[in-house]
A and B are shown apart, each in its own frame.
Chain A
């Protein structure tokens, strides 16, 4: 859906619970304050790669267009740079909103326009669960497109260069108190499911 809400909106395309679900999130509390001024859209450095602007996403939430919002590329492209939020006259935390929308897309199993993104979030979280810290090489390898010889070659070349520069830490750095991690991950993820 290039250019946002240009299609005809029918009762079938709307999900009346969606707006309320979004408003339950921390960033969603303020979204009814949006005045559609477009400062976020004009400020966004990644807008060129998005199908809808952040302003359009907010309007689409108001209209209950759940499927269109969760299937947009916008929610995945947002790099959380916070330019929009520092300029938003209504103080809406748009990157945090995008983060919550990603969470909803993952939970609702909506196919992501940027296919590697859900895997990025999952793998990142799993690595942090394992060590308590990020281990960069594991994340890089997990996300590589192993079916493309060109990409494999390119990544191997960059990996070698970084290795020579002493920028690759082979053995992951770990948190010593593993029981802390286990308790946090178990409790946080369990409570997430009960939500």
Chain B
């Protein structure tokens, strides 16, 4: 099946390993994801929106216009991009006056969009188009003995009025993937609690407090690692984990993997292709727990 792939800005830099492992998983599962040519910022949930709602919607609309020529569902990896594009799509479809305003803004650039392209998250594609059976069939290194917390973050399944492929309060799609890979997924209370998102840039202490709770409840139930499908969550849980430890005088030390990295490990993909050396909290102790230990070369 072919998809119009929307990477989103962080996939090109701080979340490079998400894209690397996404491509590796696609190769194994035969998913054809073609990057939307010349895509731009999704429009942002709030960052551009608070500055100018029309600008934010017009940025989303340009992406729709580019994607619609591809006749395929739009697939985003970043939960925030997925949400922003879904919300813009819904707002523009339901409010003809608003759509008229945005049409006028983008028509000058020779762009047109209908709003017909479906916006989906990669996790939705994995579970509902590819299926757990096919995922399980491709496992070469079963993740037996690993205890994993599936952390969904807030925007992936919310709000139900927009588009939902899973339960907004207690999603399970990623847990099912974790189990298909042979690992144990733990019952985790904070699966959709917010990590603080972009507050990391503007009100760091609030974000540290919010992410600390997520990490501690995962540690409390004995997680070997946390998997996430969102680059923003990944940044706060992984790159900021040391700052959380020093701010609250705690020892947490939980590796944070993208769900695609975990899948790649189970599919027997070379760790270098999965960018496992790019995770800030070292992932070695997760790999060492496996029956067939996987080696990660340090990043030069």
Q: CB < 8 Å: which of A26, A93, A121 contacts B50?
A: A121
Interface secondary structure of A, over-half rule: helix
Task: Identify which of A12-20, A55-63, A165-173 touches chain B.
Answer: A165-173
- Max chain B CB contacts within 10 Å: which of A45, A76, A83? A45
Q: Quick check: is A147 within 8 A (CB to CB) of the other chain?
A: no
Which of B38, B40, B50, B196 lies in contact with A46, CB distance below 8 A? Answer: B196
Cβ contact within 8 Å between B239 and A128: no
**Contact between A162 and B54, CB atoms less than 8 A apart:** no
Which residue of B is nearest A128, CB measured?
B41
What total of A-B pairs shows CB separation below 8 Å? 206
Q: Which residues of B lie under 8 Å from residue A124 when comparing CB positions?
A: 44, 47-48, 51
Question: In the assembled complex, which residues on chain A have CB atoms less than 8 Å from the CB atom of B91?
Answer: 26
Are B14 and A82 neighbours in the complex by a CB distance under 8 Å?
A: no
Query: A134 touching B192 by the CB < 8 A rule?
Result: no
Q: Is B198 an interface residue (CB 8 A)?
A: yes
Asked if A110 is at the interface of the complex by the 8 Å CB criterion, the answer is no
By the criterion CB–CB under 8 Å, are A99 and B104 in contact? no
What is the minimal beta-carbon distance from A130 to any residue of chain B, in angstroms? Answer: 11
Which residue of chain A lies nearest to B101 when distances are taken between CB atoms in the complex? A191
Chain B contact residue count (CB 8 A cutoff): 68
With A45-B194, A95-B45 as contacts: A125 and B55 at CB distance below 8 Å: yes
Which B residue sits closest to A195, measured CB to CB? B54
Q: Which of A2-10, A64-72, A100-108 is the interface stretch? A: A100-108
Tell me the interface secondary structure of chain B in the complex: loop
A49, B203: Cβ atoms under 8 Å? yes
B193 and A45 form a contact (CB under 8 A): yes
Contact of B199 with A by CB under 8 A: yes
Chain B 198-211: CB-based contact to A (< 8 A → 1; otherwise 0): 11011100100110
Q: Report the separation of the CA atoms of residues A22 and B159 in the bound assembly, to the nearest whole angstrom.
A: 22
Q: In the complex, A46→B210 CA distance in Å?
A: 7
Q: Which A residues between 136 and 195 are near B, CB-CB below 8 angstroms?
A: 136-137, 139-140, 143, 154, 158, 161-162, 164-169, 173, 175-177, 179-181, 183-185, 187-189, 191-192
Q: Are A140 and B201 in contact, with the CB atoms below 8 A?
A: yes
A39 interfacial by beta-carbon distance below 8 Å: no
Q: Assuming A46-B210, A124-B47, A168-B13, what are 20 further A-B pairs, CB within 8 angstroms?
A: A80-B197, A82-B158, A86-B159, A86-B161, A93-B159, A99-B46, A116-B203, A117-B202, A120-B202, A121-B50, A133-B12, A136-B9, A136-B10, A162-B239, A166-B278, A173-B9, A180-B62, A184-B109, A187-B58, A191-B104
- List of 6 A-B pairs having minimum Cβ-Cβ separation, nearest first: A81-B194, A81-B154, A86-B159, A102-B50, A169-B13, A134-B9
Which residues of A does B touch, CB under 8 Å?
25-26, 45-46, 48-49, 76-83, 85-86, 91, 93, 95-96, 98-100, 102-103, 106, 114, 116-117, 120-122, 124-125, 128, 132-137, 139-140, 143, 154, 158, 161-162, 164-169, 173, 175-177, 179-181, 183-185, 187-189, 191-192
What are 15 sample pairs from A and B whose C-beta atoms fall under 8 A apart?
A48-B209, A102-B46, A103-B52, A120-B202, A125-B55, A128-B59, A162-B14, A166-B278, A167-B14, A173-B13, A183-B105, A183-B109, A184-B55, A184-B62, A187-B58
